[in-house]
A and B are shown apart, each in its own frame.
Chain A
Amino acid sequence: MRIRLYHAALALLVIMPAAVGVEEDALAKPAPAPAAAGLGPPSKAVTDEILDAVSQEMNRAMAQLQIGQNPKPYFISYKITEVDVNDVAANLGHVTSRRNRHFVNLEARVRVGLDPSNPHKLDNGNYVVPQADEIDAVSTINLPLEATPRIARRAAWLVTDGAYKEALIQLRAKLEARKSSGVRNIDVPSWTTEKPVVSETPVLVVPLESLDELEARARLVSASFRDHPVVRDARVAVTSYLERRWYITTEGTAVTDTRRASGVVINANGQADDGSALHQYFLRYGHTAKDLPTDDDLKAEAKKLVDNLTALAKAPIMEHYTGPVLFEGEGAVGLIRATLAPHLGGTPVPEGLNPTEAKNFGGALTDKVGDRVVSPTLTIVDDPTAKVGGGKALIGGYKIDDEGVAAQRVEVIKDGFLKTLLTSRTPSQKGQTSNGHARRTADGGVFHGSATNLFVSGKGGVPRKTLEAQLIAAARAEGRKYGLIIKQFDDAAVSSAPEFSRRELVQMIKTTDQALPPQATIAYRVYPDGRREIVRGVQLKEVAIKAWKQVLGVSSDTTTYNFLNATESQLQLRLTGGTDDGFVPSGGIESSIITPDLLVNDMDVNGTTAGEHPVPVVPKPIVK
């Protein structure tokens, strides 16, 4: 079971003013936490005594930790994470998993620099040690669930020691590698200097929904799938969690933040008449269960999944198509998630990463600040300080990022021009500082800038129906008999159903092109007479960043969508994730995308029947 480490979101449903460059003082003197009704208590596991114990050990290490003539640490940071999760999964009205997980984790990060007088210039960070990517100057250990300072201090002693030794090895390996394979951007320092932030008042959140509440919901909704011959398997997973975080650094930062989210995942699998596997899913996250659809709404969504499976079982397979595609609702979200958001990070690709991994890393926009990179109709803002977008709760936000830097609203693209990237404390250019977007982990031991609450807006938005007419017109101009609408992409973290044999898995691993976006789960051909025809097996070809210049139009309506953005590839997720093991998916970074529908020209689409199996020889058991 992968355990989430990076949750987001506060449970206060208020719209905060867009805070560009949050000032230290604003955080240093928070208003006393209002005794707001309905908020839960502060942590029992991590108290001031625990933070003091860890600080004492940090100070001792900073003053004394050194092996021989090797460099001493110039920076030590600790992240303490307390996770408390309730989740329940159910199948056909009965529970398959029900559990609480509650743990506390202490993580130490140590940096050592080559030059003691200017250690930031070149240190051990963001380097993947060949054949030893676990040597990353990060060391973790569990802490007790009840505050026990002596154990915390002992734990801090051990993780600091472990991280320091790794930092020395990592620095040595990095220097050696640079000697033999040259240096990219020699003038760019390894680590930025940031002002310390102090914000120690606990952030209180609404308590978790109880396991009983979650179970009732999971059972009720999953019972909707009983007695449907078209459904092979269906799962409903509901979750409620909080994550408290504390950061302490030798620079004087001492901050705390809390993320709180609740979610529901429904997924149903079927099989087309020719044997192809069919996946359908519905997913919603919010700050608490109050932000989620009602039970009746969820039952209606379950019914829609059954209807889709019924329609898809007999639907034609998509043929090759080059032309305009209308990405509607979650389809637009999926396109952004798969082909644009991964490129918005400004942290350089880790040194030492192998070229194939580096290619999948994103970073297509790294050298293009100032250039026009997307259609001039588009403006893109990432705002981790936002709590609400499009009238809905957003889960991608936070007060403090994973390097203890205050969150900032960032205008990434203005009228098609790339203004700046989402940065962490590992700069890609001289003079670059963090804008509070350190979220994503990667080999090499540093956090990478990534999207949080991503707001995409377009000029000249029109009603959805008008955009559909534009699609048909554009398709006709391209000589096509129909236009294509994609309403949702697959999310292997949620929908995977590995009903595979070992040989089928091997085949899949060998033949899957990991550069492709996920397959579409709901797509229609729309004809000039307005007729819509559902199609299956819709697979976009690789979408280069340049395709974003081909946006022909946007809708006036927007879609707000929360999700957990897993760092693994769709293939890895297909192999390991999903609800098929009866648990609740929990990997990935809390993220939100707010976007209009997007009409994009000149997309290449293929049809695929991957995942075809013989139809079962024994019919599904139906019990009246």
Chain B
Amino acid sequence: MRWILLLGALTGLAGCPGNGHNGGSSTIGKGGGSGTLPPVPNEIKVDLPNIPSKIEVTRSAPTEGNTPDKRSAILDVMKAENDREIAVLRKQKDPAYYLAYQLVEQRIVNMEAEGGALVTDADDTARNLDVEVRVGSPELDNTRALQDDNNNFNAPLTRRGAVPFGDDKQALSNALWLETDRRYREAVSALGYVRQDQATLSKRTQAPDWSASKAEVYVGAPAKLVFDKSVWVERLKRCSAKALKGAATRGTCGVTFQQYTTYLVNSEGSQIQMSWTHAQLAVSAGVKADDGQNLSRLEQRFGRQPADLPSEAEVEKVIATVTGDLDALHKAPLAEPYVGPAILEGRAAGVFFHEVFGHRIEGHRQKDTTSGQTFASYVGKDIAPEWLSVYDDAQIQTLNGLQLNGFYRYDDEGVAARQVSLIDKGKLVGFLMGRNPIKGFGASNGHGRRSPGLPPVARQGNLIVEVAKSVPRTDLEKMLLEEVKRQKRPYGMIFTDISGGFTNTSAFAPQAFKVNPVMAYKLYPDGKKELVRGIDIGGTPLIALQSIRAASREIETFNGVCGAESGWVPVSASAPSLLIEKLEIEKGFIPHDRPPVLGAPSMKKEAP
């Protein structure tokens, strides 16, 4: 199977659990310590001070906020039906050994204004049911990938189960029964194909298909969105009127407010009820450049409740950034392909790590026979500078005061969130694991995630790049210029914003990544900065990681949503700014269609 893994700051898709109980502030971060850089050709000597980058986080343990008296009757209905079903299914000729129900109730409020007028006004609530049935045994079950199943015929067909609202036992049980019946029938058929396939294989995967996990019982109190719609409509109109200016042909301001309640019950005894709200504001402007490139600039802000979003005065600054950048991009020249030193500023570095590293340490990719398994044989080996560590921690609610999108208490397979060390002092030490085991990593570490309607796989939560040695951000630019001189390059590159990217982990294609910078500058030896456009950053992950030469003290966070085979999940990536010795810049795709033939119509009549 070929997956292209995307990270995007899409509106309307981010979400983050938590009911306001912060675990208090603590500081994560290890002291300095000198070390040697991994061996790379043409290694440059950089003396970095042993000062770690600044990371202060608030965390909340999964069990925090457990309020058993807020337990919904829905959990009882789900538990009763799960017990009734599994008791019978265990006794069949093809017995089921695991049955899980997850019910997700999702209210999404979406309002968007363009150029001063409201264009989207939606407030929808839906309930989705996911049923997972496993037949066979944990060692070999219906989910085992077939040797040749490019069309994914043996994978379960998930669908948006429409489950009635409320907690009526008959209505809910019937919905659970219908979907269990279909999924069991499908699982038995799939296992038949798996057994047939295994019989014809010369070499079999040793790792089992499923790992046991402890039963968790947690009840979070229902969360509720609080906002005044009319106030927000007026705010968005004012905001968007200001965002449609200058070169922009599209200027929008939008909010997405979400309220989630999820119920998970499985045949191992887990019963988990979680509830949270999430708010997101997006300011966006776009225009087509004269050569056809679609230019777009998006800034987002996040909070738990709408009230946490920035004030109107702060949003003014965001609008100024978005419109100013778009006008500058519209005038900016196209850049040419380049290989040389570059700085990835904090948020861009976060996205870079998410794509280049994060997706490749998702455990199941080391097992998928069609995956490149980039890191499978590197466990315990140096893959990055010795002063650099990376971990993922979905228990973190805020980092340096900023809310992180990737917070959750339990994953979609009922496993508690925890911190997982991935690179420790330059050495690869771990993988992000759902309940699909790989060799040497037999248990889940709470990263089985999905959007409703898709089977969970290992995904990132809050990815954090931590450095034991750092320099102030301003010094990084000086180091870049020294490197430009040393490499005899005409200029260096600075990337301050990356809209997203993708990475290919399939063995059929090069193990390459591509990220799409929005704001890219050339830094000339005389200190002049020039904004350029029309380029992508490409490369291969192992080389890219080994090219990191220095990091800044300041950490920045990219909050967004990430798309892969299990759907869109909210994530964050935090990193210092990084100096990369050699980064490859490619020409980006530019569509050939020209901008509108006629100039924009006069707006004078109604100009504010």
Contact = CB atoms under 8 A, between A and B. Distances in A.
Interface of A: 56-57, 60-61, 64-67, 89-99, 101-102, 142-146, 148-151, 153-154, 156-158, 161, 164-165, 226-227, 232-233, 498-503, 505-506, 580-583, 613-614, 616-618, 620-623
Nearest to B152: A502
Nearest to B233: A146
A501 B189 contact: yes
Given A148-B115, A500-B157, A91 B162 contact: yes
A102 B170 contact: no
Given A97-B126, A146-B118, A503 B153 contact: yes
Contact of A617 (B92, B162, B175, B601): B92
6 contacts: A92-B164, A93-B164, A150-B606, A151-B115, A161-B597, A618-B89
Contact of A618 (B159, B166, B177): B177
Given A151-B117, A502-B153, 16 more contacts: A56-B601, A94-B165, A95-B164, A142-B119, A145-B118, A150-B603, A150-B605, A157-B598, A157-B600, A161-B598, A232-B178, A501-B186, A506-B153, A581-B162, A582-B160, A618-B180
Interface string B575-608: 0000000000000000001001110110101100
A618 B88 contact: yes
Interface in B62-89: 81, 84-85, 88-89
A227 B606 CA distance: 62
A149 B606 contact: yes
A96 B249 contact: no
Contacts of A499: 178, 181-182
A60 B116 contact: no
A146 B120 CA distance: 11
Most chain B beta carbons < 10 A, residue from A64, A96, A156 = A96
Given A94-B164, A157-B598, A502 B156 contact: yes
Nearest to A90: B164
A71 B283 CA distance: 39
Most chain A beta carbons < 10 A, residue from B117, B121, B173, B605 = B117
Contact of A623 (B115, B170, B593): B170
A164 B113 CA distance: 27
Given A143-B119, A503-B153, A92 B174 contact: yes
Interface string B81-115: 10011001100100000000000000000000111
Contacts of A233: 174, 178
B307 interface: no
B603 A154 contact: yes
A92 B124 CA distance: 21
A145 B114 CA distance: 11
A501 B601 contact: no
Contacts of B151: 506
Contacts of B178: 232-233, 499
B597 A144 contact: no
B184 interface: yes
A5 B343 CA distance: 50
Contacts of A617: 88-89, 92, 181, 184
A151 B114 contact: yes
A158 B286 CA distance: 13
B1 interface: no
Most chain B beta carbons < 10 A, residue from A92, A102, A164 = A92
A90 B170 CA distance: 13
Contacts of A618: 84-85, 88-89, 177, 180-181
Nearest to B124: A99
Contacts of A148: 115-117
Most chain A beta carbons < 10 A, residue from B89, B119, B606 = B119
B177 A157 contact: no
B162 A94 contact: no
B169 interface: yes
Contacts of A91: 162, 164, 171, 174-175
Contacts of B157: 500-502, 505
Interface of B: 81, 84-85, 88-89, 92, 113-122, 124-127, 151-157, 159-160, 162-166, 168-171, 173-178, 180-182, 184-186, 189-190, 249, 593, 596-598, 600-601, 603, 605-606
A92 B84 contact: no
B164 A66 contact: no
B124 to A, nearest CB: 5
A66 B597 contact: yes
A95 B119 contact: no
Given A94-B164, A616-B181, A158 B598 contact: no
Nearest to A144: B117
Contacts of B116: 148, 150-151
A623 B173 contact: yes
Contacts of A67: 597
Contact of B597 (A99, A149, A164): A164
B602 to A, nearest CB: 8
A618 to B, nearest CB: 5
A498 B162 CA distance: 13
Contact of A92 (B113, B153, B171, B176): B171
B601 A96 contact: no
Given A60-B598, A94-B171, A153-B601, A501 B182 contact: yes
Contacts of A506: 151, 153
Contacts of B88: 617-618
A499 B162 CA distance: 13
B121 A145 contact: yes
B502 to A, nearest CB: 24
Contacts of B154: 502-503
Nearest to B606: A150
B185 A613 contact: yes
Contacts of B119: 142-145
Contacts of A150: 115-116, 603, 605-606
A144 B598 contact: no
Nearest to B155: A502
Contacts of A581: 159-160, 162
A402 B15 CA distance: 42
A102 to B, nearest CB: 7
Contacts of A66: 597
Contacts of A149: 605-606
Contact of B177 (A227, A582, A620): A620
Contacts of B122: 101
A214 B59 CA distance: 46
Contacts of A613: 185
B156 A95 contact: no
Contacts of B181: 499, 616-618
A341 B175 CA distance: 38
Most chain B beta carbons < 10 A, residue from A67, A98, A503, A614 = A503
Nearest to B182: A499
A226 B598 contact: no
A57 B601 contact: yes
A148 B170 CA distance: 49
Given A95-B164, A502-B186, A161 B596 contact: yes
Most chain A beta carbons < 10 A, residue from B155, B177, B189 = B177
A95 B162 contact: no
